[in-house]
Structures are given as structure tokens and as C-alpha cells.
Structure 1
């Protein structure tokens, strides 16, 4: 029997399938992109935007499936940080080392060979290396492309602190999801149309985004807002 634990992506997928829902059904209900759903279910972080937005997706997805949203977010944060460690707790924590007996004179010969290779590289020069390996330039350009900003779901609503301010978010039943002072740059995200409300102590210190578009501050500096519904 396989005793390996499931990661949170598998839990979400199994719950969705148990409810006889397809990724398209989920998209139509909470507007979470199908490719994002599949990436969350497989912990494929490379196919997702930044972690701040993804945690909002996970929270909305888990809540829609009737699971504990806080627990789902906590597990996702822990498991996405080191996915290679998932399902290997049953393996030993050491690897036996086999002794290898090298032939006499092998180490000195290896040193001579290494020195010869180093001389060859030095005499060849940097330009010769680039001429022999033109693909190296395209690797650099691909890296630059990968560093560009990840796509953002246009249905995502984000509160972002431009200065420290207390922020509280509650669900449709009045349960508090978060209630703390946001530091500058801290965000909270939810899918547009979520049954959530927010309160802030300083509306001028919190900006609201729809997708990538910054709609500006929630209000005037020092203005307090209470139980404002998230945009629909």
C-alpha cells in the first residue's frame, strides 16, 4: 500500500472530481482560469503568477470546493517551497556510499589533463568560445524574457498597501479571514465576485487593483472604511 501523503494540489483535484466538476465548471463559477486550476492541482509554480496572487486563487478554489481555505493556503505555501520533498518521508535520510578503488596514478593523470584543458580554454579566448557556441546568446535572451512580469488574471481584485494600514477582510458569513496591519507593499487578493468585504483604517494608504490596472487609493488619507464589498 502506498502510504505517501498527498500534496494540497491532489486534495483539491480529488475534491473537485468527487463533486463531479470539471476545471471548466470551476472557471464558470469563480472565474479562475482553467490553466491556473491545473497548475495549482499539480503544484506547477512556473505556470502561475507571483505567489501573492496564487494564494488568493488557492483560497477561492478551496472555499468553492467546501474545504478549509486557511489550511489550503498554509499547505500550499509550505509545499510549493520544496516540492521535491513531498511524498518522500518514507525514504532513508542517508545514501550508502560505495567505495571505489582508483587505479594507481589516476589522480596525477587527472590533474595533468585538467591543466591541459585550462590552457586550451585560455588560448582559445572568449571570442572563439562565442563563435563555436552561438546559442549562448539566445540563452541570455530567454532568461530576460522569463524575468518579465507574469500574466495577471483580469478578474483578480487586489488590495495593496502603499503605506502601513490596518486591513480586515471577512467572508459572507462575517468570519474574519485576515485582520492585521499591512506593511508597505503587502497585498491581499481575491477573485472578482467573491462574497467578501473589507475594512481599512486609512483608505488613502491602500490601493485597489482589478487585474493589472491600479484604480488608485480606496479613499482619502486618514479616512476609515468599514465592510466594503469586493468589486463584482
Structure 2
């Protein structure tokens, strides 16, 4: 009977990753709150709560789940490798099918989280500016009304003077009629209205353009572009409608976190998809020949 009691005492229940994270945060001398850690790690509070609850469906991609868990474990003083390996086991991810190397998990997920929070904070700042401006206009509406009236009068005066001068300078008869010049747009006919543009320095010469489509969803699609030397040209989450102009004339490769969420345009034409929805694709050569090869 004594031996059975001793055996029961030695049996320990193995904790899940979420329980290990929650215990590390709430026990010991240094108890911490999720909002505080969220600001320090630049990771949304709901994502940290989802890790503790084991509700991984809240976080959009496995690469983000592993990256967030690694950063959270390091912040709480846990072994990040142990947490990531245990989490992969819980999620049924084998070593051969892992989506990122451990180093990429950490960097990419942190970048995605900061990017997402940056969009949220920027929206709040814009709303505050508009609210302050509207309050000022309501308080000083008479000044604004007078200014608008004066501006309208000036515009009318300039138009009248300019039309009068044009009539005086126009020849009585012209025998040569110039053909109108039609401006040709170098932009493709995007499937999604453009939201924001990146890499605009390359816009005039770019023959390869990346755009996040509707399959990127509200969480966006992570895109990384590197040159031939391995230097990063772009590493960010593109939301639906966002456009990136790839520099022309160089050898660039890309990695898509959600291959089906990115449209690739080559010389104004839509190239074939490089991968399926929610599938990570790396080593994509961003040259017109390679991208359009499968279409021939």
C-alpha cells in the first residue's frame, strides 16, 4: 500500500504550452499583466491570450503562432526552444513540415505583429486629428466662411482674366491641327482597388508588381523580397489592395506567407499563381521570364 502511494506521488501531469505560459506570467515574485507584455512585445493582447488558452485558431498562420510563442516564452524567462518544440508537437507539426526556421519564426512574426499594431495605432491617431480639426472649425466658423468666400472670388477672377488673355492671343485662323496626345498608364488593371503603395521609387521602371488580393483577408499576407546578395528590400504584411513595385534590372527573390493572397503582375499582365491559399512559398524568382513561364 505504501508503494502505491509513493508511485502516485511521483506521477506528474504534463502541462500544455498555454499552461506553462500562464503559470510563468502569474506565479512567482514578478506577476505580470497581458496588456503590459503586449506593448513590450508589440503583439496583440488577443493573440497572447489565445496562446495561453490554447485557442490557436485565433492566430492566422502557423508561422505567427510559433513566432509569438517563442517571443512570449523569452519574455517570461522560459526556454523558447522547448516551448516551440512542445507547441509543434501539440499542433501536429513535424520537423520536416515546419514552415519556418526558428530564426525566421521569431523575426517574421514580430515584424507582422508590429505592422498590424502600427496600422491600428495610425488609424486612432488620424481619428484624433480629424476630431480636433473639426472642433476648431466649429469654434471659428465665421473666419473659415470668410476665407472660403475670398478664395472663391480669387479663383473666379483668375479664370476670367486667363480666358480673356487666351482670346486675345489666339490666332484668327489655324491651318495646322495638332493631334491630341493620349496619356498611357503604366499601371495594370488591378483586381483590387489600390490601398497603399510601397517601393514607389521603383514605380517608373518596375515591370514586376506585387499586390495583395482579397484572399489575403483582413490579416494580410506577409511578403519578403531580397536581392542577389541576400539584402532585404521588403519585409512586411500587405493588406488587400497594397502594392509593391519590385526594382527592375536585378535578381530578386521573394517569400510569400500566403501565396494565394498575392497577385503578381508582369508588364501589365497577371502572372499565374505561385501557390495555393494559406500556403507559404519561398525562393520565388521575380523575373518576367520565370513568372510567365508557366503561362506559355
TM-score normalized with structure 1 length? 0.41
Higher relative contact order (CA 8 A, sep 6+): 1
Query: Which of the two has greater helix per residue?
Result: 2
Highest Rg: 1 or 2? 2
Considering fraction of residues, name the structure with more strand.
1
